[in-house]
A and B are shown apart, each in its own frame.
Chain A
């Protein structure tokens, strides 16, 4: 059966693409993110991170304890720049 499994839906990444990138040396979610953009779409990795962590563990033999998750920074969802620039109404 052809492997036609999507792991990151936001960035349309197949399991095969993720596996190739891991085999080439991107052995953490942060490293993969920089190379193939997993976790950088609308859901910010909430759907794919756990499944991709499992792929990294299976290929590299690393344990979960050795595998840092992606770094969480604000804003945790996408917002319009104009909204951020406008700030809180109280401050006007």
Chain B
């Protein structure tokens, strides 16, 4: 059995930032990552971040991952396990993980779950045809492995992921037939939507997919206009010719460990599904168990980094390591300004419901 001050599940933006903050405060950290590399979804993000300089604006996601990984590898207080999948959290406070043909057992003083999220799937006819992809898979094929996922894509969902992946597809020389979006508005940032429109790709709001067409693989899709209750409008159905249907219809928090630990959970549509109730330091209803990143509510990488910093430093303070109050206040201030404005409104609403 391994003992440590803080066990972190997930080495995406939240987990990496948390590990560094906690270790800087003096805590011993074990960092578990399911993939063979650090960075989580950052490694697929070939686009530049924007926002403020102190939060990596201007850097590409993959470079942010490298930036963090280098610091983590140098830090003797952080023990990293890659290829390690967290399996369970037990009543006696023991965490288990599958790792290299065995089962790690860790007894941490505090734990941070930064396990991220999983893509949602929408039901439509023939949705099991080869050629129906999640946007994350398309991004992995393209940006991590250099494999073209098709020749012509129908993107479903005009949130930031749908918009950014569409743009990256075009950068890779793949055509995007259209982006369809069920609601009446583009969910992602205008700066991404404008780039797409300038390249001549239509963004069809109030549209959904009815069916994937094809026998052995996707050869097209049947799409339709819908009313505000998502009912198809008769006579608006049409076929588009594509070999890839890419779903970017949202993410769900990956919260199994938190359920196992008995954390109080609440359903928040704004945050992507069931998320843990937490205090302002990101501690859940179970003492010593913290959350950060998408598992705490679907947001984006910059907020995940800030939440990671906050949770890591809060966990360290809880264990008695000296932490300047000023530093914690500064991170909270940064999060607040990131979530200000109309784009952050749904996040603010969601958080108001689950923060105690």
A-side residues, CB < 8 A to B, are 1-7, 9, 12, 15, 43-44, 46-48, 50-51, 64, 69, 72-77, 79-80, 82-84, 86-91
Contacts and interface: CB of A to CB of B under 8 A. Distances in A.
B125 A74 contact: no
B211 interface: yes
Interface string B112-152: 00000010111111111000000000000000000000000
B125 A87 contact: no
A48 B127 CA distance: 13
B256 A76 contact: yes
Given A50-B252, A83-B98, A88-B102, A75 B87 contact: yes
A5 B123 CA distance: 6
The prevalent SS among residues of B at the interface is strand
A8 to B, nearest CB: 10
A4 B254 CA distance: 28
Contact of A83 (B88, B101, B120): B101
Nearest to A9: B128
* Top 10 closest pairs, chain A to chain B, by CB: A74-B88, A72-B259, A75-B87, A76-B256, A6-B128, A5-B123, A88-B105, A86-B102, A79-B98, A72-B256
Contacts of B86: 76
B118 A46 contact: yes
A64 B267 contact: yes
B98 A4 contact: no
B122 to A, nearest CB: 8
Interface in B48-102: 85-90, 96, 98, 101-102
B240 interface: no
A84 B128 contact: no
Given A6-B127, A7-B123, A73-B88, A46 B103 contact: no
Contacts of A74: 87-90, 96, 260
Contacts of A84: 103
B210 interface: yes
Interface centre among B103, B124, B127, B257 (most CB of A within 10 A): B103
Contacts of A3: 125
A47 B178 CA distance: 25
Contacts of A87: 102-103, 105
